[in-house]
Amino acid sequence: MFDRRLVQNFDYLLLALVLVITAMGLVNLYSAGYNRGEGTPLYIKQIYWLAVGLALMVLTLFYDYRHLEKLSYSIYLISILTLVGVMVAGKMVAGSRRWLPLGPFAFQPAELAKIAIILVLATYFNRRPRLESMRLKDLVAPGLLVLIPVGLIIKQPDLGSGILVALVAGSMILFVGVNWRTLVGCALTMVLCSPVIWGFLRDYQRQRVLTFLNPEKDPLGAGYHILQSMIAVGSGQFWGKGFLQGTQSQLYFLPEQHTDFVFSVFAEEWGFVGSVVLLLLFTGLALWGLQVARECKERFGHLLALGVTALIFWQIFINLCMVTGFLPVVGIPLPLFSYGGSSLITTLLGVGFLLNIRMRRYLFGG
């Protein structure tokens, strides 16, 4: 029998935030692809993916999120198998194998890995005895769970998604609690290992780091993307140039303006005022995710909400820093805003988890 309390506890504010941001993203994609004349417009394709993502999000609401704990290791194993599969039979695009063809569609296994790592870590920490702070020996098992998918993703190569999965996992581990000596030791180890990590990077990845440090060194080559992005963001000034009036985007000086640099299109047309409004909406989404986690009295749901919120936050943070020149370009999309079916569906699935947790908070006295 359907429980009316599920409807009474539904989080309409969270859903409204997501729908408003997504609607703004569709309008922005219309501008980013305006007058391209290349088959089906990008915003129409995004609407199709949005319909699929919303359908999956709604389906998650009918399934008690606590049952995901039993499936988490199976989902994790499937994600590892798909990451291995993409290395064998993946679609090669721009020198990388990131897409697994599924008939007329293509699926990005790294997106599944983002959800899988959140589920498996939430399950792992929920089932282990609680500690006030974990030491190095306590991090071995969860560390291996993280390193396997991160290594496979970087091997594609997809450094951005690999870093993102590691950041989400690291955020969840920090929320659980880590001994400060262990934390300092891990940080120092990473610093000392940075020359070794540099040696494993591919030439184009090293070039991105060097370009980040000095984009003016090669303004027509490696530094072109970030310089054009910064010009677009800055030229919007206070009020913006107006819808469909951005010269950087409409004259196609801005590369990848529908994916990685979609915020640059928005900032040029809507200026500082529009950018602040969008940032406030994203901030509200991240803070509300933390509120969902805080009010959940059940540990698995608490950790699951933290993981989803970390995923959304780090994508926003990295993308905005990337397009404004504060971080190297690593190919992280802006959630609910950038064009891309896999990313949109993953984000909406995560939002579905948050709504699910929120709906069932009454079961634990939240």
Q: What angle do CA 146, 149, 150 make, to 5 degrees?
A: 75
Check the CA dihedral 121-126-129-134 and report its sign. Answer: positive
Q: Is the CB of residue 113 less than 8 Å from the CB of residue 147? A: no
- Tokens representing residue 330 in the block: 């690593």
Could you read off the pLDDT of 230-246 as tens digits, one per residue?
Answer: 888 888 889 989 888 88
Residue 223 backbone dihedrals phi, psi, to 5 degrees: -90, 0
Residue 131 backbone dihedrals phi, psi, to 5 degrees: -125, 145
Check the CA dihedral 54-59-62-67 and report its sign. Answer: negative
Partner residues linked to 178 by β-bridges = 134
3-state class of 131 per DSSP?
coil
pLDDT above 90 covers a percentage of the chain that reads 51
Quick check: 29 pLDDT over 80? yes
Task: Characterize the bridge pairing of strands 105-107 and 91-93.
Answer: unpaired
Domain boundaries defined on the chain: 6-62+213-366, 82-180
Q: For residue 1, what pLDDT band results from cuts at 50, 70 and 90?
A: very low
Could you read off the pLDDT of 123-156 as tens digits, one per residue?
Answer: 999 988 776 778 888 889 999 999 999 999 988 8
Q: For residue 42, what pLDDT band results from cuts at 50, 70 and 90?
A: confident
Residues ≥6 apart with Cβ < 8 Å to 85: 100, 109
Quick check: 179 pLDDT over 90? no
**Arithmetic mean of pLDDT, 98-118:** 85
Could you read off the pLDDT of 299-332 as tens digits, one per residue?
Answer: 999 999 999 999 999 999 999 999 998 888 888 9
**What per-residue confidence (pLDDT) applies to 54?**
95
Q: What is the DSSP letter of 178?
A: B
Residue 105 backbone dihedrals phi, psi, to 5 degrees: -110, 170
**What per-residue confidence (pLDDT) applies to 94?**
62
Put residue 239 in one of left, alpha, beta given phi > 0 → left and psi -120 to 50 → alpha: alpha
CA dihedral angle for residue 156, residue 161, residue 165, residue 170, rounded to 10 degrees: 120
Could you read off the pLDDT of 64-92 as tens digits, one per residue?
Answer: 899 999 999 999 999 999 999 888 877 76
